[in-house]
Chain A
Amino acid sequence: MSESAVPSFPKHLLDFRDWSPVQVESLLETAQMMQEVLARPVKKVPALTGFTVATVFFEPSTRTRISFELAARRMSADVVSFVGAVSSTTKGETYRDTLRTLDQMGIDAYILRTDAAGVPHQAHGWLKKPIINAGDGWRAHPTQALLDAFTLREKLGSLEGKKIAIVGDILHSRVARSNAELLPMLGAHVVACGPATLLPAQLPGATLTTNLKEALQEADAVMVLRLQKERMDKGLLPSLPEYIAAYQITQGRLGWARPEAPLLHPGPMNRDVELEGTLADAPRSLVERQVANGQAVRMAVLYHVLVGKRN
């Protein structure tokens, strides 16, 4: 293959705007290889020897951070981590200042999580280094969407023509937004469902409904989102019992979906709120598989942005 025929990969993962379906397919193939690495007794390859990766989490998420850090270490990268908070009144130490300070220390790629949309894009401009978005505000969480897609394909095969229902607080969900961006690239049809107060008027890539039965009907998979209690404080929901009555995923309601339709949840879960607690442990639950696959997918992402795809 000539060099020009090789798709040049974006040197960052901010969202999927810069990624084509072919590139995503290739990334998921790499994740498959990484999964094989993770199945070995010695789960380590030298692919990223000499690279230093920083996880910079302004919004704490131990699970996601550990998943990224393990992914980097399993490919022999050096890892540093920064966990900080940015309050709305912080005047001095901003995202930019922190990142520029860290950048004096010879870091090769940043894994960045922030409460504000767009910061990874800004950071890409400030640092001119590969940036992997580990979640920015309500906007995007691309590695979560990749691991969801990877897990769904493992279970369902091709996603072409498949109906994926996403249920919960769609308005404030970066997971829903990234999935609505990625899954249609792989041929799936996304239906997003939640209470009217937690649903945007429109979401490109998804069909929206407040009717749970309509969302679940014939669904090939059901993805449940975490409900944040602060939505109640902000007056967006009357109460938890009200939400549970209308939108909790129960054994019975799951019957509306296709038989055996798998259940996904990005975690952490509020058992008995967004879904019936026992469902999380049921055979159709892919929750643990998602966590395991998260590492393989993140290894693939790091490999792609730092080394690039080799033929």
Chain B
Amino acid sequence: MKGEILLKNAKLVDGRGEHGHADVLIGEGRILSLSGGEAQKVLDVAGMVLSPGFLDPHAHLREPGQEVKEDLRSGLTAAARGGYTDVVSMPNTSPVVDSAEMVRALKKKAAQIGQARLHPAAALTQGQEGKTLSEAKLLQEAGAAMLTDDGRTNEDAGVLALGLRYAASWGLVVAVHAEDAGLRRGGVMHEGEVSYRLGLPGNPGYAESARIARDLEVLRYVNEGLAAQPHLHIQHLSTKRGLELVRQARRDGLRVSTEVTPHHLTLTHERLESLNPLYKVAPPLRTQADVEALVEGLLDGSIECIGTDHAPHTADEKELDLLRAPFGIPSLEVCWPLLYTELVEKRSFPLAVLLERFTDGPRRILGLAPIHLEEGAEASLVLWSPDEERPVDPKCFASKARFSPWAGWVLRGWPTLTLVEGRVVFESAHTLGKEPRPI
């Protein structure tokens, strides 16, 4: 058999588990064979792991309107370097992505760039103003992956109910940024011991759980007597209490899914002791008890996927003071090595489960079929190196946001090759023995 790329001696791990070693032949956008063959490009990848490409259900790529922070090219390139073959972009751009034309334009441009594939999320309400529903059917036809007013919170429960009810007709997920604005009260960090001591306005964990409780009641209400089951996706879950509420709702049979970010799994509010706006993020970094609960939820499947909430800003903005610096952490390029190192290597978190949360989990939420490592499967894959160890160096990021709370952390598991439908979109300089160059 003849293919385009042959990956010899690859260790296969996907969301279902480990599948030994194989010589993976790739061509025509698919895995042609797991038992070798001829190819134009042959790489001996002994010691490396081949997995399905990652899907990020939550990234801010800032285009249109805020290209100074990030654009499709830099964002999707960053994603490919992070092992992502698919990215859901958030619609809180300028202007807001709330029309079919905008979704089509974004998809077209992303296809031309040819890095990771783009799945634009569109606004749930026109202009994300929380009043009039957006055109769900037209948006879906244009390729919108989900509906969300992320960046804003849906204050009017009635509008959320209508949105859930209407989106369900088209099988669209409604994703929510669950945070009660009144309880948040302008907080810039987690409300607790540290915020009290530092004299910084706090954002209590209850701002999240109170809103989740409300949103779940809205979902319960909409769920009654509706043929198509509404699907609520809670973005960037950060609290133990919020997770408990989600678990209960799932036990009750509601269609609710959640995501957790790399920062909420690896950092706590104590980091703000440094008074460094780098750690300012929404929802805020919480307590160690919350981190433990989130890891537990990720393990037992109550949390179905990892969403980066990749939120790039300019370095100048991020160096403002803690009241004025924008919320957000860029993470597309480090998410996998970070969680592989911190969870799998340091905490014995099962590798296959973590992979499931990067691959099948988010694909399921978007209604996409899983990718498993078998002959005939779509060759959207990532090859990563469990032994390659190096520190996070934001200077080498493809993202325009060259700052990171993990700068200097020594991580393993760096992606070395990313393929989208058999096409190489990223090949690490490290694999080729070259030094990484700052861009």
Contacts and interface: CB of A to CB of B under 8 A. Distances in A.
Interface of A: 86, 88, 90, 94-96, 114-119, 121-122, 137-140, 172, 174, 177, 200-204
Given A118-B275, A121-B275, A202-B193, A140 B321 contact: no
Contacts of A137: 199-200, 322-323
Given A94-B316, A172-B199, A204-B193, 8 more contacts: A88-B324, A90-B324, A94-B320, A94-B321, A114-B321, A118-B322, A122-B276, A201-B196
A221 to B, nearest CB: 23
The 8 closest A-B pairs by CB, nearest first: A118-B275, A138-B199, A139-B199, A116-B321, A200-B196, A116-B323, A121-B275, A119-B321
A139 B323 contact: no
Secondary structure of the B contact surface, majority rule: loop
A60 B323 CA distance: 18
Nearest to A178: B199
A203 B198 contact: no
Contact of B200 (A95, A117, A121): A117
29 contacts: A86-B324, A94-B316, A94-B319, A94-B324, A95-B320, A115-B323, A116-B322, A116-B324, A117-B200, A117-B275, A118-B198, A118-B200, A121-B274, A122-B275, A122-B319, A122-B321, A137-B200, A137-B322, A137-B323, A138-B201, A139-B198, A139-B199, A139-B200, A174-B199, A177-B197, A177-B199, A200-B196, A201-B196, A203-B196
A139 B316 CA distance: 23
Contacts of B320: 94-96
B181 to A, nearest CB: 14
Interface string B181-206: 00000000000110011111100000
A203 B319 contact: no
Contacts of A119: 321
Interface residues of B, number: 19
Nearest to B321: A116
A168 to B, nearest CB: 15
Contacts of A118: 198, 200, 275-277, 321-322
Contacts of B201: 138
Contacts of B276: 118, 122
Interface string B240-273: 0000000000000000000000000000000000
Contacts of A121: 274-275
Contacts, number: 66
Contacts of A117: 198-200, 275, 321-323
B319 A96 contact: yes
B68 to A, nearest CB: 12
Nearest to A177: B199
Contacts of B193: 202, 204
A201 B316 CA distance: 34
| Most chain A CB atoms below 10 A, which of B192, B197, B200, B274 | B197
Contacts of B319: 94, 96, 122
B272 to A, nearest CB: 9
Contacts of A116: 321-324
Interface string B342-358: 00000000000000000
B321 A203 contact: no
Interface in B283-329: 316, 319-324
Contacts of A174: 199
Contact of A95 (B192, B197, B198, B321): B321
Nearest to A120: B275
A88 B326 CA distance: 11
Contacts of A94: 316, 319-321, 324
B197 A204 contact: yes
Contacts of B274: 121
Nearest to B182: A235
Contacts of B322: 116-118, 137
Contact of B196 (A122, A140, A202): A202
B184 to A, nearest CB: 14
Contacts of B324: 86, 88, 90, 94, 116
A98 to B, nearest CB: 12
Instruction: Specify which of B196, B276, B320, B321 lies most central, judged by the most chain A CB atoms within 10 Å of its CB.
Output: B321
Contacts of B321: 94-95, 114, 116-119, 122
A116 to B, nearest CB: 4
A203 B194 CA distance: 9
Contacts of A138: 199-201
Contact of A203 (B197, B200, B316): B197
A204 B273 CA distance: 14
A139 B273 CA distance: 12
B47 to A, nearest CB: 41
Nearest to A94: B320
A137 B324 CA distance: 12
Contacts of A139: 198-200
Nearest to B273: A17
A117 B198 CA distance: 7
A110 to B, nearest CB: 15
Contacts of A201: 192, 196
Nearest to B201: A138
Nearest to A90: B324
Interface in B139-169: none
A140 to B, nearest CB: 7
Give the most central of B193, B198, B275: most A CB within 10 Å: B275
